[in-house]
Structure 1
Amino acid sequence: MGIFRSIFTVAHVVIVLLLGATMLNAYIPPKVFPFLNLLSLAFPFLMIANLLLCFFWIFSWRKRAFVFLLISTLFLTPVRRWINYSEQKNDNLDFKVLTFNNKYNDYGLEEVKNYIKSFNADVIFLQESGYSGLGNSDFEEMKYSLHNRRISFFSKYQIVEQDTIPLIDKGKSVYADVIIKGKRIRFINVYLEPFQLHKSMVKPTEDLEENGTKAKSLVRRFMPVFKKHEEQVQILKNFIEKSPYPVILAGDFNSVPNSYEYYTISGVLKDCFLESGKGFGTSFHDYKIPIRIDYVFSSENLKSTYYQVDRSRKLSDHYPVLVKFSLKD
């Protein structure tokens, strides 16, 4: 039994070190060492393994259980980026924001349109929408809008300024300044460089050699995209820092929490899920593993009071995210 405990101890130390390595994404960009960003994808599985081993040490009555539990407290905030609990806030509701990658309405234009309308949002961010058939006539209360090749933005309130934020390659972003109850807010819709994956690329088979080939192919595909993301989020960060108005940024980051992309944006804006989210924040369901890649961030002087990932229907490979805001004095 002693040899097994030694093996488990070594394995646990390695897992903790890997968990710690994901936090280095806050400091080390993908162009320097992209494998750290790749490691962020494994964070939920590493954390589950860490907790299982902690329970094992507890039930084995080993003192090392307290050491590993103490170390695990360092990962409380990273865990909250995936699963969180916030107390209900009773602040006044000033406006609602919906962000949704509607996958070009591949699941049915009419169904997607009615689904989006059911949220009665004041501002709508769409990604992978393009010129897919949804316009102002589909959302009667949305009098104002702007569209890009891959993204769309709709607002009940007047847009007083709008433009494209030029990102490299296939990344897309637009901004719109909107006056809500006398306050000018800058809304930024984002769609970062896609990986252009499909299920066959990630689905394991019984052939170990084929799985190895797939894994190598995925790594080759991920690395250049991570480096493009680095440039794209730096452009966004610089744009946000120069904004004279409060900012709400939402969209499909094609990046998980604890990634370089997440750390870069959360350095200048707050993650609304941390402020008002409950339960799981995962928003992409096509691969049946926990992936959170759709976000709503805001400036400090905007308060989110409610955050919901709606899983009631599957009308895209993403679930929509609805966030309610209260304007701070």
Structure 2
Amino acid sequence: MPHLPKNLINRGFKQSVKIFAYSYSALLICYLILKLIFWDRLWIIALIGTFIPLIFFPIFLLPLIGLSIIKKRWFSIISAIGCILLISWLHVKYFSPAPLDITDSQPSIKILSHNVGWYTTQSPTLVKLIQQQKPDIIFLQEIVQKHTERAFTWLKTDYPYQIGIPPVGILSKYPIVSSEILHLADHPETQQRAVINFNEQEVVIYNMQATGPWFAKYKLLRFIKIPVYKYDQRSPEILDLVERVQQETLPVIVAGDFNMTEETQDYYNLQKVLQDSFRKSGFGFGFTWPHGWELKFLVKRSNWKLNYPVCRIDYIWYSQHWGAKSGAVLDATESDHLPVGAELVLLKQARL
């Protein structure tokens, strides 16, 4: 078999890099313009936004490509400016936490939230996580009967106040005054609302599980179907939650699996009434999903797993009555979601 000349290979490689650089730049500009106009009302913009900031990282390659391969001054200058803007954005948004500087006299509460992934998370693993973190309140999503029969029972001494109604559950060191099951926007997904007595102050807590996005087939032509990213069922649930929070007069904590990223309009709407504990006091991207996904759909008969989450969809939110002392993504269990934790400080009492 004849070998291709080395200069032909180099020429082909350089041409491929040029095509990538120009195509990526054009697609990125189109994305930013369309997002500015439509936000995530276009499904393709919503899908791309799911993987921000990862999609922005190739920008760092563009100045190098401009200098060594494209060799156009204007391209190198524009891409260098893009790098500076990206670094500034990453620093401000992801790497500049502002945790509260508080005194020990101010009452604080530790929160843990975890989507246990139905049967995947074993009860001993869940108990070990809780005993290591020692939270005051635990929000659990996608629990099954085995969790209420085993983990809840084993933790009864430390967490005497429990509401375990699969697929959601709450464990608390503080008395639960009242509780109810919710179906936001009358959708099938199950949520919880409860009132606890913390430091002689009643606090409203919501255990959240929003409808997840999925891909549906869309008939483009008679014989052509394309996958379309569907996420429209989540938005009414978030709007319902926002309306409920606006009507609350007590301090509020909302935690759980929201199935949305920070680049969505749903996140923006929720941010109007609540504050994101990790974004206020955590450091980094805070990705929580998907952890441990098997990649057999890419390579059959392989044991490859995606152990590095690429999306942040699990949150702990709080009302203006609180401040965030810390926020973190915790060690993995068997679930495809990583647990999240936060320590909140009660800044002001609500009038009863």
TM-score bracket, shorter-length normalisation: 0.7 to 0.9
Correspondence list, 1:191-202, <5 A:
191-195=209-213
Select which of 329, 332, 336 maps to 1:317.
Answer: 336
Q: Which amino acid aligns with 1:141?
A: D
Instruction: Give the number of the structure with larger relative contact order, counting CA–CA contacts within 8 Å between residues 6 or more apart.
Output: 1
Correspondence list, 1:186-225, <5 A:
186-195=204-213, 216-217=226-227, 219=228, 222-223=229-230
Unaligned runs of 5+ in 2: 1-10, 217-224, 294-305
State the match for 2:164 in structure 1: 147
TM-score, with length taken from structure 1: 0.78
Q: CA RMSD in A?
A: 3.2
Checking the alignment, whether the CA contact within 8 Å between 1:271 and 1:295 is kept in structure 2 is yes
Q: Which amino acid aligns with 2:134?
A: N
TM-score, with length taken from structure 2: 0.74
Checking the alignment, whether the CA contact within 8 Å between 1:101 and 1:316 is kept in structure 2 is yes
Select which of 195, 202, 206 maps to 1:177.
Answer: 195
State the match for 1:303 in structure 2: 323
State the match for 1:286 in structure 2: 292
Select which of 263, 283, 291 maps to 1:258.
Answer: 263
State the match for 2:183 in structure 1: 166
Paired positions, count: 300
State the match for 1:100 in structure 2: 114
CA radius of gyration, larger in: 2
Supply the distance in 2 between the matched residues of 1:151 and 1:183 (Cα, whole angstroms).
24
Checking the alignment, whether the CA contact within 8 Å between 2:213 and 2:234 is kept in structure 1 is no
Q: Which amino acid aligns with 2:210?
A: L
Supply the distance in 2 between the matched residues of 1:195 and 1:262 (Cα, whole angstroms).
14
Checking the alignment, whether the CA contact within 8 Å between 1:22 and 1:39 is kept in structure 2 is no
The Cα of 1:141 is off from its aligned counterpart by: 1.9
Checking the alignment, whether the CA contact within 8 Å between 1:170 and 1:194 is kept in structure 2 is no
Q: Which amino acid aligns with 1:47?
A: F
State the match for 2:280 in structure 1: 275
State the match for 2:21 in structure 1: 8
Correspondence 1:237 to 2:237: no
Supply the distance in 1 between the matched residues of 2:322 and 2:124 (Cα, whole angstroms).
33
The Cα of 1:279 is off from its aligned counterpart by: 2.6
Select which of 49, 53, 75 maps to 2:62.
Answer: 53
Say which is worse superposed, 119-128 or 7-16, in terms of deviation. 7-16
CA deviation digits over 1:18-67, x for unaligned, max 9?
Answer: 14645667x66x5xx33332221232332112333256558876332454
Give SS of 2:148's match: coil
Supply the distance in 1 between the matched residues of 2:86 and 2:32 (Cα, whole angstroms).
9
Q: Check 1:144–1:23 CA distance in 2 against 1; reply closer, same or farther (3 A cut).
A: farther
Supply the distance in 1 between the matched residues of 2:330 and 2:37 (Cα, whole angstroms).
31
